[in-house]
Each structure stands twice: as C-alpha cells, then as structure tokens.
Structure 1
Amino acid sequence: MIRFGVIGTNWITTRFLDAASNIEDFSLVAVYSRTEQKAEEFAEKHGATLTFTSIEKFAASKEIDAVYIASPNSFHAEQAIICMNAGKHVMCEKPLASNVKEVVKMVEAAKKNGVLLMEALKTSFLPNFISIQDNLHKIGKVRRFFASYCQYSSRYDAYKQGTVLNAFNPKFSNGALMDIGVYCIYPLVVLFGEPKSIKANGIMLSSGVDGEGSVLLQYEEMDAIIMYSKIADSYVSSEIQGEDGNIIIDQINNLGKVEIKYRDGRVEDITQTQHDNTMFYEAKEFIDLIKHHKTESTRNSFNHSLLTAKISEQVRKQNGIVYPADLD
C-alpha cells in the first residue's frame, strides 16, 4: 500500500483522489493546507486521518510515502523539494514549476534523494495518446502538428468585474499558457522533441499574465502551431498532418476521439476505450513506478518536463510575461 499525502484542497485534488481510489495500492492518509479548517474539512470528506498546516512537519511524517502536489504553480518547486529532501516520492501537477531554473532544482533534488519525481501531465499516459504513437507511421512523413485548447474561464468573469483570482495572477505563476497551453506543448515534446525555433504572440491582461496566445515552432522537416486561450472558446479539433493522411484529435487535453483520415478518402477510427476519469492513468503510472523502485517515468521524463519548461519560458519571454519566481 502506497500511503499518500496531498497538498492542495481544490477540485483537481478531488479529481485525482477519485481516480486514484480505483487503484488497489492507493491510500490517502494526510492532507496539507495553509489553513487548518480547510485541511480538516478536506480530510474528513476524503477519509484522511492526518492534517498539517506546516509543510515541514507534513514532509517529515513517517506515515507518508508519496505526495501529490496541486497547489498554485509558484509553490510547486519549494514544496516538492522539501518533500523530496524528506525522502518522499512526488507527483506534481502541471506545470511542474514556474520556470526552467526551478525544474532543474527539482530534478536535482529527486536524484540526490533517490526518489521519484513525475509531472502530473495526464495526456501522455492516455490509451488514445499511445494509439497516436502506435499509428503515427500510417500518415507518412509528418509535416505539421496543430493543437488548439481554448476554453473560456469562469474566473475571467470575475476578472472583468475587477477581482483578480489565482488563475490570472502572476504571483502564482499563472495565465493561459501555464494553465492550458501546456496541454498543447507537452504532447508535442513527447512526440517530436525540441524545436529549432519558437515564435510567440499573445494577448496580455493588465494583471500581467496572458489571456490567450499562439506559438509557431519550427522543426527540421515540419512545423507546429499551438493556440490556447482562457478568454475565448474554440471548437476546432487538433491534428497531426502527414503526407499520406491526418490524425484528427478531439480535445487535446482528454483525447476523447482519435481517427485517421487518409488522402485516398479512407477513415480509420483508432480511438481506444478510456477510463471516465482520465487522471487514472497518471496515478497508476506513478504508483507502479514506486512499486518497481523507479525514480523517473519514461513517458513523463525529466527531459520532457525540462523541454516543456524551456518552451514555455521562451514563449513568456517573447510575450513579456515575468513572474516573481523569475526574479528570485
């Protein structure tokens, strides 16, 4: 049994616990929150027996084997490193950290302490993503990767009324790129690696973060186009364009349906059955790695997380987005 402590008491933690509860070796034992009331309420709701308001005491607990971190982005690196220095395995929500410097420090801490560190970016573990990898050769030479994730945020309504919530606050290393643009970048990195060049544009909000953006990435024999937004919706499918056909992807963040449209008119549905809660697969991967004494995922590897952070940081620089974490 892998005994988990969680950091963060928001909806994504609840979603993770719902997914992990389907895994036989998972057990929730502890909750950390900055406020005692939130920690106790969340623990009671989900059956945890221990609560903490001190991150140091949480990390030092001998009742915890592994930690799931779903705090604001700006806290990821510090909290993860404290936990790893205490010998805990860490699964940290995307984006792994605020910037490249923090990702490097987190990886160094994982290696120094011989513990598992994995970014909780679910896409690369989904059966439909694996299906894309297995069938990619069918579309011939790939010429373009196009990914769109544009979803109007309910928090934007509050922003327009003058209330800047975490989602649009640079203090927490947030904004459209970090929140949902990463869902477009990470699968690109896993499939095609590091680009040769990056050109970015974005719409800046007065709070200091991006509301939406677009990125053109150049590879040796292909290019990639990424669009993301928290201030407008889009219903356009993502796709990988090849010389012999295209892989059409419904919902880049969940990969609900995947099919190949060949140049000769044939259509092949390569969709696989997936768990209703798509966070199940990342939770299972993390637990399986711990059980097999692995300290790095091959799918959500250190290199994939580092490349994603490098691309994100370059996009932010071109768009003039600076976080307090960048100045430390």
Structure 2
Amino acid sequence: MSQRSEGDLTNTGMSLKHDREWDYELDRIVEAVEERDAEKVGLQFPEGLKRRAPAVADDLRELTDGVRYLISGQPCYGACDLDTYLMRRCDVFVHFGHSPMKESDKIIYVPLFSNVDPFPIMEDSLEELADPDDDPDVGLVTTAQHMNLFEEMYDWLEERGFEVHTRRGDDRLTHEGQVLGCNYASADIDADQVLYVGGGKFHPLGLAMEHPEKNVVIADPVNNVVTIADTEKFLKQRYGAVHRAMDADTFGVILCTKIGQGRFDTAEGIVEENENAHLITMDEVTPDRLRNFDFDAFVNTGCPRITTDDGPRFHKPMLTPGEYEIAVGNEPLEDLEFDTFHGTW
C-alpha cells in the first residue's frame, strides 16, 4: 500500500476536461450514478492523486444534475484503505488508483495503470534469470499498476524460451499474477525463480520472505534498475525489534479499524492470553500517535507495512503478531517470517 507519484499513471475511457493526461472512467461513474439515482457520491484518491480530486469532482458535476460529490481526505494507500465513514453516507463510493478488493454494489474501483514501458528493463533482467536452456521455469508477478500489460509480459518471456508460471492467489487478489503489499500467494508456483515487474522494494522483499526458496529478480521500470531481493538487512532489523521486546512487560495491541486491515480475532487472542496486553483501536497508526501510550512494546495487527516500513521510527519496539509470539517465548526465533494477509475481508 505504498504512496505513488501520479506522474506514471494513466487509464482508458472518458478523459477529464481539466486534465487530458488522465482518465478516471467518468463514463462508468456517471452511468452508475444515473442507474442508482444517486444524490451523494464519495470520491477517494490515493495520496499522490489527491490534488486531482477537485478537477474530477468539477467534471462529474457538469455531467450530472443535482448530485453532490464529497472528497475523502483520509489517508489512502491501498484497496483495503476505504473511508468507511464517507462510504456509509453516500449512495455511490468511488475508489481511485487500486484494483477491486471488496465487492459491493455501492463501491466503484477505478484502477490507474502505469504508462512506463516495462520491456527494456525486462530485457536487462535476463542477465539475472537462469538461461531458459538450463532452467526454463520462471514465475511472473506484478502490482496493480502494471497489470494492464501482464499478458504482454507473459508472452514476452515465452518468446524468449521461458515456461511462465502464474496463479491468481486468494480472494484478496483481483488478477492473475498480482501481488499486494500484504499478500504474495500469486508467487506460490512451481518455479525456483520469480520475476517481479514493478517499483519499490517492499513487494519483492515480502515476496522473498514469504517464499525464501525462490530467487526473486526485480525489474523496476519506474527507476530503471534490476536488482535481486535481499532479505538480510530486513531480517537484522526485525531480529533487533524482537530482541528488544523480549524484555517488555506491557504490550499495546493495535487493532486497525480500516475495513480491509482489521484482524480482530488475532488482536483479541493476544489480549486474552496476556493480562499485561491492552487493545488499542486506531485508524491511522503513526509514531506520533503512539508516543502518548506508555507501553514497553506494541503489536501491530493491521497492515504489515506499518511494522516493516516505519518500524524503526516508533519509540518502542513494533512487532507483527508472529514476532510477538517469538518475543514472549511461544515460538522459536528461527520461525520469524513476513507478516501477510490471506483470504477474504
């Protein structure tokens, strides 16, 4: 659920009058508004696209009569990050920038795709993949931003002699070969090497942690670099947090109230088993908001990126549920693994 620049996103369909570079499928939104006789429509944008919100609302107002368009100001980093307060108060709710995760008659997902050409960097990635004459099997995964070219990527690899393996994963994943920052089930394929096409390090790092038996090659078309996912630095950081938490007497267990991130059973189970653990409900988990709580350590049951990306910024150790079990002695240290979400909401 990473923040993205709007500079490398595009889409297809009706274009914004005020923004010809972008297309937010206004025709589909207008059709839904008219079909449902909607009076209030909520619009939610990821962080890098919030500046586009007024132009989208202006164009929609011109295309529909008597409809109020309300813009969500809540932080948004993924399809699981819905503004439920606004959604409950609208007849139609439009979420821009991510693939569908929660099916609903009220919610419209408008995915935005990258316009960066991935094939030059995929060509460079061949140097890190095994020669297809020696090992033809390769898994292919990508993020929602590049999913519009997934079939072409698949064909491109096949044309170079590879036998490409893909799967859809579980119910949190919309597309064949798609990975999320919290779910890498699509890489559970019969191949010893996986090509990840996409930006950032978080997704391939999680993939490498979830599937340590595989060689994960990163072809990043945004930054135009090819690298190998290296978990060593990440593991040292996580081992350090677990060791510091082994001396903790009190734990704050965070239950994220965002619709796609709440693991109530996990959070409640920890609190029920540990009399020195207390449940804290939060929508947005930040170091500043936790600084007012005087716990020795925290357990995050929400988005794994809170722990892995921002963990060092918290004033006390921030653990995943699995790391907590290790810190209190319920599991051995060698069982440390990446925190992932599986299944439906």
TM range (shorter): under 0.3
Length-normalised TM-score, structure 1: 0.27
Q: Answer with 1 or 2: which has the greater Rg.
A: 2
Question: Which of the two has greater helix per residue?
Answer: 1
Length-normalised TM-score, structure 2: 0.26
- Asked which structure has the greater RCO (Cα within 8 Å, sep 6+), the reply is 1
Question: Which of the two has greater strand per residue?
Answer: 1
